[in-house]
Amino acid sequence: MEHVTEPRSLGPYSVSPVGFGAMRLTGPNVFGPPRDRREAIRVLREAVALGVNHIDTAQFYGPDVVNDLIHEALHPYPRDLILVSKVGARRDRSGAVLADDEPHQLRRAIEANLRTLEVEALPVVNLRLMRSAEPDPLFDDQLGAMISARDDGLINSIGLSNISGAHLLHALQATPIACVQNLFHVTNRASQPVLEECTRRGIAFVPFGSLGFGVTGPDAVLRRREVVEQATRLGVTPAQLVLAWALELAQNVLLIPGASSVDHLRENLAASAVQLDREAVAWLSAM
């Protein structure tokens, strides 16, 4: 298969196929400051130097850590840099992730992102759902808050995260959706129907956890026998293999793998140049 290097659409924007997820620049469990702040700053600057123009962030990463790092490393921002944030969650003092998704809370979080990133408007903000598996009355109110923020010039485009297909179809009745960000990787394809709906509608699908996420973490992906064997056969790393597989799924897929070191960053970005053969695709698709 051919290299995946051509820009892809993220709402009205054009971005590189492999972006950068800044979540892992925090301390353990996405909580607290990084162990090496200087390295975190270096990773962000190297990402942009290597052509990344899509960075995913959130005020609740840390909390209040990642946006500060992005601002310190990159402000004033390159004109083509698309910063995508998300709202709908918060962290308590123990690090627990809690809902923060009432309409007034969403507005407050958007304003906090603008303040810490020092921008007048954000290109895209994702509404991260924390409660219902299906659309409910709160979802309409949440969409209303996002639409108001867009109409007031605080954000340019609306995205959704952690949603079902029903959420997507319901939201599209009220507003265009720039992107959907759901958990999805080679061993967890529960969001396959959402990906397919996004593909049909030309909506960017941005999987999070591409290298493994949650309780099992990367072991569920990068240490799977099939992944290790195919990566070894092709002379690439397991991470590069599964990222390249995801890029080949559809033209609307955008990746945001995280990295806390420059070496890991470069490894991930090189996935766009990996060529998969039919054997590798067959093995991965059958997992």
Helix (H, G, I), strand (E, B) or coil at 128: strand
Question: What one-letter code names the amino acid at 62?
Answer: G
Exposed e or buried b for every residue in 237-250, given b needs 16+ CB within 10 A?
A: bbbbbbbbbbbbbe
Q: Which of 13, 61, 139, 213 is catalytic?
A: 61
Pairing assessment for the beta strands 97-99 and 89-91 based on DSSP bridges? antiparallel
Instruction: Classify residue 108 as left (phi > 0), alpha (psi -120 to 50) or beta.
Output: alpha
Segments in 163-236 forming alpha helices (H):
165-172, 192-201, 219-222, 225-234
Segments in 20-179 forming alpha helices (H):
37-49, 66-74, 103-117, 137-151, 165-172
Residue 253: which of 211, 169, 213, 194 has the closest Cα? 194
Cβ partners under 8 Å of residue 113, min gap 6: 57, 58, 59, 67, 85, 87, 122, 125
Q: 61 catalytic, yes or no? A: yes
Question: Which residues are part of the catalytic machinery?
Answer: 61
